[in-house]
Each structure stands twice: as structure tokens, then as C-alpha cells.
A = this chain, B = another copy of it.
Amino acid sequence: MGKRRSMGKRRFASFPETMAPPSALSVAKPEVGQFDPPKRLLCGPGPGNAHPRVHAVMALPQVGHMDAAFLRCAEELKSLLRYAWQTENPFTIPVSGTGSAAWEAAVANLTSPGDKHLVLVNGYFGHRHCDMASRYGAEIVRLDKPWGGVYAPEEVDKACAEHKPDLIWVAHAETSTGACQPMEELGAIAKKHGALLVADTVTSIGGIPVLLDEWGVDACYAGGQKCLSCPPGIAPLTLGDRALEKMTARNEKGEKVANWYLDMNMIKAYLVTNDFGTPRVYHHTAPISMAYAFREALKILAEEGLENSWARHRETAEFFWDELTRAGLECHVPYENRLPSLTTVKIPQGVDGGKVVTHLREKFQIEIAGGLGELNGKVWRIGMMGYNSRKENALLVTNALKDALQDQGLAP
């Protein structure tokens, strides 16, 4: 043991030589006041406002990431996720990052260099998949559509026959356009052509029917901060049998996942075992409070019931769309493919869309967003998601839009 040192009256406790304090700090303490964020109604493309019960559980006492109490919390979270996604996949977990991290986990674990990805690019996020997957050595084949469009099964089938992809990526709910891709036949098409089907359900999980097993989706990710009413910072990922087979085969060949943080072979030993009695193996420190939050958000969804949540999102959206029509505004996506959770509203001719966004934020503390990419300057993106999917919000936002348009001299 080391010698005792007298603590005495010195300003600094005795520092051994190797950790001697500096004579003076070179970087001064910044002046930072109390934090008091504005109270906004978040009706952009997400995050939405989290449920108050979700905020409340984040204040519960933390436990360690290897504590049985935490692992029980994680197991319950996983069951709730399976319900929300309607999948039996044992490998259904929270990823320690935001939705994009769960996405990259799917890509990193399911892409061998040289694999061919058929990417259904009908919005911003299709572009992102091309960028992300190419970093893992994927050869990208794009199936392009104007932003807001959706694909007929025959188009996907034909592209598969032509390109023989290893993986098909599709956005079930394109957050940049507000379009909902019909999923019913894509799983069978993927299977027929020997490809994995990977779906983005960031803006659909909890808000509209997502039936992963029925659809035959092999891998899927989402975010917690949209229809699930959780703050961003933790994100779900699920891998089905065919996806796991690919992952395991790569691992057995000694082909390491080109990403340590998101290597699901290692995370499997921490978060997924066949038997709850199996000892868990430390990989990284899980985000404890965010896991509490996400579990609570999913529990709230289960209490309401999936069908009721879907119906509520639908009813709010129908009401909102009617109100928009009455205000003389039009939606970008045709009715039959429109997402109830996220609506793209056409910016009328002659209106400064950015000014309207600012008007809503500054006058009414309402957040909505503009368009991305092809739709930049052409639409507003307005979300009614999770806790925020309520007729009162739809009414408020429509009337705030009217006020903003009047402010620009347009009285619809």
C-alpha cells in the first residue's frame, strides 16, 4: 500500500508527481446560465414531444448495465418491441444511439464487401442508404422514383430479376416525403430472389400497421422519437432468421463486421441469449436512462393497444387533412399513399415557406419543417406522431398556418 499523505491545509490534495495539478488552468470556466428551453409543440418530422411518463422514468435511480435489474428492463423492452413491430424475432434489441445508428447496425452486419444492394430511392433516406452502404463496400443499384412516389411490387420484382441483389432496402415510411410504401408483397419477392429485405420504419412504428413477420421483412430499424413518444437517443433493431444466418456465416468465416460499436455478434452476447440464465458479456455501457425511457414509451403503446394507436393516428390525420383542405392547402402525396404520421403540405405559389416555419415557431412555439432535397422549398413537413397525434394539435397547427399565410398577405 502507498504511504499516507497528510491532507493538511493545501489547496490541492497531495498529487503524486504524475498527476501534478497545473500552476493555473489555461482554459477558463465559461459563463453558462440556467437552462430553460422554450416549450414547443414539436410537429415537425420528429422528434415529437415525449410522453410525460417517459420523461418521469428518466429520473428513476440508475442501475449498472450488467445489473440483473437492468437486464430485466431490457428483456421487457425487447418483448414490447416485438409487439410494436409484430415480429417473433428473438434478436430484437435497443441500439445505443439514434435511429441512424440502428440503421448502420443493419447495414454493417448484413453487408459483405461486393454485395449488391437494390435501393428504392424515392426520397432523402434512400440517398442516405446509398451513401452508408457504399462505405461497407456494397455495390449500389438504385431504383429511382420522384420524391413522394411509391413502388409497385412488379417494379421491384423486375429490378430483382435484372440485378440479382443480395439486399433490398426500402423506406416503409419516407420521412422526407410523407409517403407510405405498400409492403405486403415485398418479402415474398425478396425471398424468391434470394435477397434480404431491410425496411426503414422510423416514422411508421407505433403509428400505422407494421407487420414485419407477415410481410417477411428480414431486418428492420426505427427511432423512438416519432410515433413512440420517446426522446431520441436509443433506437430499435430487429434481425430475422435469414439476416442472422448471413451474419453468423460471415462471423464463422472470420469476416469481422467493419464497425466495432455496432457489431451485433458481440452485442448478441450482451443483449440476446437463448436463455435468460446465460451470463451476459460486457460490450459497452448501455444508455441506462434512455432504456428506461424507451421501455416506458413502448409500455404506453401496449397499454393503448396497437390497433387503437393506429386508429388514433389515422383519425387525427384524416381530421388534419380535412382542415388543410378547408384552409385551401394541398397535400403532396396522393391520399392512398399518405402517411398519417407525417404530412407533406404543398407551399402555395408565392408563399415564402421558410417565413411560415419561422412564424409558427416564433409566434406560436410550434415546430414544423421544410422539405429536403427535391422537395426543398416546395413542401412543409408536418408530423402528428405518438403523444402529439391529437385533433387539438391538428386544429392548432392548421390555424397557425392560416395566421402565417395571412401575415404574408394571403388569406386562403
A287's partner among B209, B231, B311 (CB-CB below 8 A) is: B231
Copies in the complex: 2
Q: Identify the stretch in A16-24, A192-200, A404-412 within 8 Å (CB) of chain B at 4 or more residues.
A: A16-24
Q: Does A402 contact B (CB under 8 A)?
A: no
Complex interface bits, A122-151 against B, C-beta within 8 A gives 1, otherwise 0:
000000100110111000000000000010
Residues of B contacting A26 with CB < 8 Å? 86, 88, 211, 213-214
* Contact of B64 with A318 in the complex, beta carbons under 8 Å: no
Which chain B residue lies CB-closest to A225?
Answer: B285
Q: Does A386 contact B (CB under 8 A)?
A: no
Q: Does A295 contact B (CB under 8 A)?
A: yes
For residue A366, give the distance in angstroms from its CB to the closest CB of chain B: 11
Residues of B contacting A59 with CB < 8 Å? 55-56, 58-59
Q: Does A80 contact B (CB under 8 A)?
A: yes
* Contact of B213 with A334 in the complex, beta carbons under 8 Å: no
Assuming the A-B contacts A38-B69, A211-B22, are A104 and B261 also in contact, with contact meaning beta carbons closer than 8 angstroms in the complex?
yes
* Contact of B98 with A302 in the complex, beta carbons under 8 Å: no
For residue A312, give the distance in angstroms from its CB to the closest CB of chain B: 8
State the A residues within 8 Å of B (CB).
Answer: 1-5, 7, 11-22, 25-30, 32, 35-40, 42, 44, 46-47, 49-50, 55-67, 69-70, 73, 76, 79-80, 82-83, 85-88, 96-101, 104, 107, 128, 131-132, 134-136, 150, 180, 182, 184, 208-209, 211, 213-214, 223, 225, 231-234, 256-262, 282, 284-290, 292-293, 295-296, 299, 302, 305-307, 310-311, 314-315, 318, 321-322, 324-325, 330-331, 334-338, 361, 367, 369, 372
